[in-house]
Amino acid sequence: MDANTNSGSSARAERKQREKAKIIQREKQRQTLKTISRLLQKAEGERSQEDRALLQEHQDTVQELSRRQSRRALLKSKQDEVFDDAENLKVKVKQLAEELQRAKHVVIYTGAGISTAASIPDYRGPNGVWTQLQKGRSVSASDLSRAEPTLTHMCIWMLHKVKMVQHVVSQNCDGLHLRSGLPRHALSELHGNMFIEVCDSCSPAREFIRLFDVTERTALHRHGTGRLCPHCRAELRDTIVHFGERGTLEQPLNWKGAAEAAQRADLILCLGSSLKVLKKYSCLWCMNRPANKRPKLYIVNLQWTPKDNLATLKIHGKCDAVMGLLMEELGLEIPVYNRSQDPIFGLSEALSAQEQESHTREEIAPPAALEDASPDAPAQGEATAVQGGWFGRGYAKARRKKKSV
């Protein structure tokens, strides 16, 4: 018994000794790293003989710090926004216009960058939603009931109308493509639509379009809106695909339409997307084909994207500016958004009397209501800050849990 006890105590002591040695070693490495980093910040002429000897002795650490610095510089350069000068921009847009006219099946991929002109923040820009979440900062958004389709949304609608664009694949949840007049069959909203809630208990799933943001109560892995299906009385859910989730709803995601359009495409135009998420959807890029059999890829974005090296042409400019020049080159009129013709008013379904108080969001006002609005009402940029489930609520908490695991 005593022998077993002594053996157990000896083993514990050895483990403690090994752990202590590891801690001491890590602390020593940390101090060395700190010292070498401080020496490297000195100008070479200011380093003493002792400094140079220390740097020579720790060449591995010097090389590791150099690699870290290079990685940091590369990451920073990828986040920088770059603008083509006016002349270069015109040349590039002219090239894009010529290719669009020659193409037989054009698909447009859109990201948050096409909606920034509507005062909707992007995701990976310097002040984007994703950028802020990664820095551990809280994210707030303006009430989007006052947002309207931008010049880019309306240009896309016109290009589809004249049959120069066959399909639009969007990462955006703001519903502005739908509100621009783009037909549902020509649109895939891969990450959902904040104005649509569905009953997935019904077969097929029933869709309910509202005039307000339905994500007030929803978040990551929590999609119930609190309202009930009038047919089966099951709880309705939003259509949003959050960070880390996989979308399975047939509509409004329309993955089938997106995949079929990508397979038929001979030209893909990416507008305002970092492509860091879209690049993971292999069915959108035809990478199983030889390079010369893939669609030509044109990218309009201010920052680096992971598809830049595959692009036929990269245009560094704001989406509205580029699309305005493109329409001029094509000789097409840029349509102006008209709220009285917004399809959402015809598509939306009113709440039942019992559910009138089921949300606190401002509804999209029809034209007549806007004319009657008080002159003291806040403008779009001054709307009360609200937090929607589509804006990544719950993601920061889930990310902390994942790290702790």
The pLDDT value given to residue 249: 85
Hey, which residues does 187 pair with through a beta bridge? Answer: 168
What is the C-alpha separation between 156 and 335, in angstroms, rounded?
A: 10
Spatial neighbors of 301 by CB under 8 A, at least 6 apart, are: 111, 113, 270, 271, 272, 273, 274, 275, 314, 315, 316
Tokens of 202: 């019904």
Backbone angles phi, psi at 255, to 5 degrees: -60, -35
Whole-structure pTM value: 0.78
The pLDDT value given to residue 36: 83
What is the C-alpha separation between 374 and 385, in angstroms, rounded?
A: 20
202 annotated ligand binder: yes
Spatial neighbors of 395 by CB under 8 A, at least 6 apart, are: 133, 220, 242, 243, 244
Please report, in angstroms and rounded to a whole number, the separation of the first and last CA atoms in the chain. 39
The pLDDT value given to residue 370: 56
Mind telling me the catalytic residues? 191
Tens of pLDDT, residue by residue, the chain (405 residues)? 555 566 667 788 888 888 888 898 888 888 888 888 888 888 888 888 888 888 888 888 888 888 888 888 777 777 789 999 999 999 999 999 999 999 999 999 999 999 988 877 655 555 555 455 555 555 555 567 788 999 999 999 999 999 999 999 999 999 999 999 999 999 999 999 999 999 999 999 999 999 999 999 988 888 999 999 999 999 999 999 987 788 778 888 999 999 999 999 999 999 999 999 899 999 999 988 998 899 999 999 999 999 999 999 999 999 999 999 999 999 999 999 999 999 999 999 999 999 999 999 989 988 776 555 544 444 433 434 445 555 555 545 455 555 554
**Is-contact 5 21, C-beta < 8 A?**
no
The pLDDT value given to residue 176: 96
The pLDDT value given to residue 51: 81
Q: Which of 228, 158, 149 lies closest to 186 in space, CA to CA?
A: 158
The pLDDT value given to residue 12: 83
The pLDDT value given to residue 395: 47
The pLDDT value given to residue 127: 54
Identify the CATH class of 86-196+248-360. alpha beta
199 annotated ligand binder: yes
